[in-house]
Chains A and B, each alone.
Chain A
Amino acid sequence: EIVMTQSPATLSVSPGERVTLSCRASQSVSSNLAWYQQRPGQTPRLLIYDASTRATGIPARFSGSGSGTDFTLTISSLQSEDFAVFYCQQYKNWPRTFGQGTKVEIK
Chain B
Amino acid sequence: QVQLVESEGGVVQPGTSLTLSCVGSGFTFRTYAIHWVRQAPGKGLEWVAFISYDASDKYYADSVKGRFTISRDSSENTVWLQMNSLGAEDTAVYYCARDQRDYFDYWGQGSLVTVSS
Contacts and interface: CB of A to CB of B under 8 A. Distances in A.
A34 B45 contact: no
B107 A101 contact: no
A91 B103 contact: yes
A95 B106 CA distance: 19
B102 A91 contact: yes
Contacts, number: 56
B105 A46 contact: yes
B44 A99 contact: yes
Interface residues of A, number: 23
A90 to B, nearest CB: 9
A12 interface: no
Given A32-B102, A44-B95, A95 B107 contact: no
A98 B107 contact: no
Contact of A98 (B44, B62, B106, B108): B44
A42 to B, nearest CB: 9
B53 interface: no
Contacts of A96: 35, 47, 50, 102
A55 B107 contact: no
A55 B109 contact: no
Nearest to A35: B103
Contacts of A44: 37, 45, 95, 104, 107
